[in-house]
Structure 1
Amino acid sequence: MATSSNKFLQLIGLLVRVAIPCAILAAGWFGFRLLADPLERPPKPAPKKVMLRSRVEDLQYVDYPVVVKTHAVVQAHNQVTLNSQVSGAVAKVSPSFEVGAYFKKGETLVEIDPRDYETALLMAESQLSAAKSELKLAKLVEDRKLRLVESNAVSQGEVAAASASREQAEANVSLAETEVERAKLSLERTKITAPFDGRVMTKQIGIGQLAGANAPLGEVFAIDYVEVRLPISGEQRAFLELPEFADDPQLAVEFRDGIAPNNEAVWVGKIVRTEGVLDSDSRDLFAIARIDDPFGRKSGKAPLRISQPVIASIEGKVLHDVIALPRAAVRQMDHIVLVNRDDQTLLPLRVEAIWSDADKVIVPAAALPKGMWLATTPMPFTPKGAKIEIIPPADNSISIAESASAEADKNPAN
């Protein structure tokens, strides 16, 4: 009995071990069939067609005046260092000899103590008086010897000696006169005067300070006019008629503040000459412009200071029969998009500019086909022949067609 019971339990255990894997396999197969059945999904909507849209402008033939802009720095046309030509202690300094102060031509700016030079002048004048007295005596002796030689009272040798003494006395007088002139000149040089109407840039001396001969006292510059050295590139030179000789017409130029863009001050000058060599690094040609009354002392305008950065606008040649494209409508430097007026289709085009500035790109009128608008709205892609929708102008009372028709009536060339 015990043996039969053990065999029965072993049989049940075997069936359980076989049934569990079979159950797992059945569950996997059922799940696979369930997941493999196709699910019903709603159909995807058809992709919506997107029409390209852009604003357009008419292409107008114009005469475009070129304005060349360049950056430079204002500089004094005459800037010198004042030096003392004599040595001595500084006795006086003019209030006009302060940094930034104005002065007039001939005004005494610094005075060296003159007492030593006044004494030297008195000594030189005394030596001159003594030399003149010796000359007077030598002439009397010579005249007397000449009268006596006629009566053989004196020898010819005595006469020659008297003449030599008179000549020596004359030389001594000339030398004494030279010493007097030199003493006067040294005394005059104790006063350092202004060489021109100007302004003080730096001051290096003060009262009581000892100044040596040729010692620098300060730097000054002239204020009648200033100069601006304008770099002109080879491309820009083709559109300018720069003066080469003294009698060539001068070229007008306007200057604005290069530091503060909001400064509305404008200074007017003229290009008076050009330098004879190109810059060794940039190959630019420097044109020299002159601005009169830079500190506005006569005109009352805002001052234009030395070393101030400026932006120069130079009037150039006028380009005839060209089209001025807005800078924003030109992509990748030389690509534009035109729109056919008849069917509103795109025509991408590459252009070659003859001039460009911050606002406009100038191309020859013959370079663009007629009957076209210029697309001014950026688009992600511009396939040739693609139809676009024209964005109406800001004034909704005027349609694109009416605007184009009116523009065409005004400008038949388009």
Structure 2
Amino acid sequence: MKRVNDYLKSSNKVVLSKKVAPVLVLMASSMLAFGLMATGPELEVKPVKKILPVVRIKTVEPSRETLLVYSEGVLSPSAESTLVPEVDGRVVWVNPNFKAGGYFSEGEELFRIDGLDYRSEYENARARLDKALVEFEFSESEFNRSKVLNKKNLISASSFDDIFRRFHMSSAEAKLARLTLEQAERNLSRTIIKAPYSGRVRSEKVEFGQFVRRGDMVAEIYADQVIKVRLPVPNRQMAFLGDPGVAGGFTESKSLSDPKSKQAKGLPVVNFSVEYAGRLYQWQGRLVRHEAELDEQSRMIYGIAEMTRNELPANLPMGLFVKAEIEGRSMENLVRLHRGAIRHGSEVVVVDKNSRLRVRPVTVLRHQGDESIISSGLNKGDKVCVSPVTIVVEGMQVETLDDGENPLEMVSDVISEREASEPRMSERKVSVASEDLM
């Protein structure tokens, strides 16, 4: 009986210890957690900083701008001629330079036609003139003597009329002989073909001993002292080149071949460039006039730019395709912006003094390359957004970055600022008394 009682007592103790142990562990854990929370650091509550979008801006600085008009054309001579002999004959001499590509000077002999027959005609006409002059002088003296006799009634009327008739006939024959001599002299001079100006030979079809006829085309030549380029200008860009009718402007017809026009000022400058034989050549010319009519198909008007041979940087051939940049009018208070800063063709986004976006209408004078020229709508000091902002909300606040500033520097500053604002846990030692839980 005693053993049974001892066994029951020991069984009750085991059951009691199994029920109490979890409760004690839970109480110890709660006390430890409460101690850690009571002795832990207090976090500093700071307001969350709003992250703003970053845009690149450009500060407006109005300036004086020269409007440029871009065009292209072909180098061509200012004068071209087709040589045609005015008399028939056989070619007896040809200038060695009278070949395709050859140079010649004004008044230089190019080739000669046999002039023996024309010289004979000249001498014959001269002899006829001498004979006619002798007859005229004799008839004139006889007529003067007959007038004196007629006044004294010493000559009959019929004789006087006959002398008067012979006088007029000899006078007419003398005039005819003089005209015949002049024609023979011209024909003789036409046997020598001379250059009408200084230039080059484009093509020739004449050889020594060849018989040429009057009116046959024997050569093509052109003047090379003044070179011209025919430049197409769009109708809407004509206003950039000057006001019509203004002296010295684009519409006043001039030519560099005229000595007086060389001294004229105010002609638009044309900057030419071309790549030829592996080298880039650049030079300047002048826009001297424009053609009278607008091209019906292209709706362009053609301007004529000229330059002298000495202004060319090299012996460039005619027919070379060149690019041209025409310097037009100069205007004040113009603003240059990147073309991407223009929205909907006539709007820009401006950042105000509170760093908020504002949409502002502007007047775009023209687009020039990848830039747009603004004539009105912006003031000095305005900050224009040049970043490609997809959605623009009026009054939206932004962070600004000056155009040309390195964006990595700004990102580094923002990261440093955010790291400095984050709270840090202070190091503290938390001691917890351990107790023997049983």
Q: TM-score, normalised by structure 2?
A: 0.64
Which residue identity does 1:62 align to in structure 2? P
Is 2:336 the partner of 1:324? yes
Equivalent residue, structure 2, for 1:238: 239
The aligned counterpart of 2:292 is 276
Whole-angstrom CA distance in 2 between matches of 1:152 and 1:126 = 39
Amino acid in the other structure paired with 2:313: K
Q: SS state of the match for residue 218, structure 2?
A: strand
Q: How far 1:187 sits from its partner (Å)?
A: 0.0
- Give the CA deviation at 1:135: 3.9
Contact 1:55–1:392 (Cα < 8 Å) also in 2:
no
Shift of 1:287: 2.2
The residue correspondences of 1:13-412 to structure 2 (distance < 5 A) are 56-63=56-63, 64-135=65-136, 138=139, 155-241=156-242, 244=245, 247-248=248-249, 250-258=266-274, 263-291=279-307, 293-294=308-309, 296=310, 301-327=313-339, 353-363=364-374, 366=377, 372=383, 374-376=385-387, 399=410
For structure 1, which segment, 365-374 or 71-80, has the greater mean C-alpha deviation from structure 2 after superposition? Answer: 365-374
Distance 1:197 1:259 in 2: 27
Deviations 1:52-73 (A, max 9, x none): 9988352432324322111222
Separation in 2, partners of 1:365, 1:153: 103
Counterpart amino acid of residue 250 in structure 1: G
Measure the CA separation in 2 of the matches of 1:393 and 1:148. 113
Q: Which string of whole-angstrom CA distances, capped at 9 and with x for unpartnered residues, describes residues 345-380 of structure 1? A: 98899976322122312235636998756455x79x
SS at match of 2:207: coil
Deviates more, 1:300-309 or 1:354-363: 300-309
Q: How far off its partner does 1:114 sit?
A: 0.6
Aligned residues, how many? 345
Distance in structure 2 (CA, Å) of the matches to 1:151 and 1:335 = 108
User: For the Cα contact (< 8 Å) 2:58–2:386, is it kept in 1?
Assistant: no
Give the letter aligned to residue 192 of structure 1: I
Write the distance in 1 (CA, Å) between the matches of 2:402 and 2:240: 37
How far, CA to CA, are the matches of 1:170 and 1:364 in structure 2? 80
CA distance in 1, matches of 2:366, 2:227: 31
Cα distance between partner residues in 2 of 1:269 and 1:105 = 24
Instruction: Give distance in 1, aligned partners of 2:248 and 2:392.
Output: 57
Shift of 1:185: 0.8
Compute the displacement of 1:136 (Å): 5.1
> Counterpart of 2:297 in structure 1: which amino acid?
D
SS at structure 2 position matched to 1:131: helix
The CA deviation string for residues 198-255 of structure 1, in whole angstroms up to 9 with x for no partner, is 2222212222222111222212222231222222213312322156366546333233
Separation in 1 of the partners of 2:382 and 2:271? 41
Q: What displacement does 1:183 show? A: 0.7
- What is the CA RMSD across the aligned residues, in angstroms? 4.3
Q: Give the drift of 1:104.
A: 1.6
Q: Is the contact made by 1:124 and 1:176 (CA closer than 8 Å) also made in structure 2?
A: yes
Per-residue CA shift, 1:166-188, capped at 9, x if unaligned? Answer: 33233222222221111111000
Contact 2:274-2:282 within 8 A present in 1 as well: no
Structure 1 position 115, deviation (Å): 0.9
Mapped partners of 2:266, 2:91: distance in 1: 46
**Conserved? CA contact 1:259–1:309, under 8 Å:** no
Assess, with a 3 A threshold, how the Cα gap between structure 1 residues 363 and 152 changes in structure 2: closer, same or farther.
closer
Unaligned runs of 5+ in 2: 1-50, 250-264, 414-438
1:250 and 1:271 in contact (8 A); partners too:
no
> Higher Cα Rg: structure 1 or 2?
2
Residue aligned with 1:92, SS: strand
Distance 1:400 1:310, change over 3 A: farther
SS in 1 for 2:293: strand
Partner SS state of residue 84, structure 2: strand
The answer (yes or no) to whether the contact 1:90–1:207 under 8 Å persists in 2 is yes
CA deviations over 1:248-295 (Å, ceiling 9, x no partner): 46333233235559744222122222333322122222222221x23x
